[in-house]
Amino acid sequence: MDLYHLCQNCWLTTGHNHERILLYLTFIAWVAESFGKRRKTSWGQFTKLFEVSNTKANDKQKSILKYLVEMASNIPWIDMSDFKHDKDVLAHLNDILKYRNLLVNEITMEMTKIRDNIDEKDVAEVDNFKDGDPNKDKFPQVGDGIKNEKQINNNTTPDMEQKFETGRCVSHKNNDVAYDRNEKKYSRRFKRERRDWTVPKVKSHKRIADESDNIIIEHPDLDCEDLTEHDIPDEDVEKYVKSEHEVKRLKLFDAQSEFDN
C-alpha cells in the first residue's frame, strides 16, 4: 500500500484502471522481495505464472520505474552508479518507501510546529493583556462588555425596568398597528387599481338602438311627425344656412388655397 500511495501522490494512478495498476504494483513488489532471483522475470512471465490477464503495461512500467529512480537519487546511501537499467532500482524499493515516509513525517511535524507557534503567539498576547501590558489601554479588555452590561443592569431600578418593558410592549404594539394599517391601505389600493383596470363591457348594437328609442328630445317643434333628435329647430337654422354670396366667397377661398399648395 505504501507503493500505491507513493504512485498516487505523483499522479501516476490518475485516469487509469486501478485494478491494472494494483496488478502491476504487485509485480514490482514481488520482484523487489527477492530481487536477486527475480530480476530477470518479465511481466509476461509473471502473468503466466500466476494466471492473470496479460495487459499492456510498458508505458506505465517506464513511468513508475523512472519516478522510483528519481526518488532513489535523493537518498544519500544509494549509489546510482550501480544501476545499469531502471529496473535495478527495485533492489532498493524498501529504502525508497522508508525515505518517502520519513519526508512525510518531517513535513507533518513542521506544519504542526507552525500551527503550535501561531497558537502560542495568540496565548502570549492574551497573557500580556491580563498581566498589564503597557499597550493594553489601547485595546478593549476581555469581559469589559459583560462588566458594563452587569453594571447597567445593577443600576436599573424596578420602575425603570417596568418602563422599559412597557415601552418595548408599546413599540411592538405600534409596529403591529402600523403593519395592519399598511396592509389595509395596500389592500384597498389593490382593489381600487384592479377595479380601474377592468375592461368596460361593450354594448351590442341592438341594445344601443333600443336605448336610443327612449331618449327624451327637447325640441320646440315636437308636433312634426318626421322629427328626430338630429333635426335643428327653425330658430337655429339661420346659424347653419349660408347665403349665396358667402358660398361663392368660400369656394374662391378654397380654390386659392389649392392653387397656393
Cβ atoms < 10 Å from Cβ of 232: 12
Residues 73, 80 contacting (CB under 8 angstroms): yes
Q: Report whether 77 contacts 52 (CB < 8 A).
A: no
pLDDT band per the 50, 70, 90 thresholds, residue 96: confident
How do the domains of the chain map onto residue ranges?
A: 1-158
CA-CA distance, 190 to 81, in Å (whole number)?
92
- What integer best gives the mean pLDDT of the chain? 66
Q: How far is CA 67 from the centre of its chain?
A: 42
- Name, of 40-49, 80-89, 118-127, 246-255, the range with top average pLDDT: 40-49
pTM of this structure: 0.38
- Return the closest-CA partner of residue 64 out of 38, 37, 35, 86: 86
DSSP string, 44-81: HHHHHHHT------HHHHHHHHHHHHHHHHT-TT--GG
pLDDT of 172 higher than 60: no
The pLDDT of residue 26 is 82
Write out pLDDT tens, residues 200-234: 444 444 554 455 455 555 555 555 555 565 566 66
Backbone angles phi, psi at 141, to 5 degrees: -80, 155
- Per-residue CA distances from 235 to 219, 231, 238 (Å): 11, 12, 7
Note the pLDDT tens digit of each residue in 121-164. 666 665 665 555 545 444 445 445 444 554 545 555 555 555 45
pLDDT at 75: 83
> How large a percentage of the chain has pLDDT more than 70?
42
User: Which one has a higher pLDDT value, 231 or 35?
Assistant: 35
pLDDT at position 80, please?
78
In the block, cell 518479465 appears at 42
Mean pLDDT over 175-185 rounds to 54
Section 83-92 average pLDDT: 80
Which residue in the block uniquely carries the three cell numbers 452590561? 149
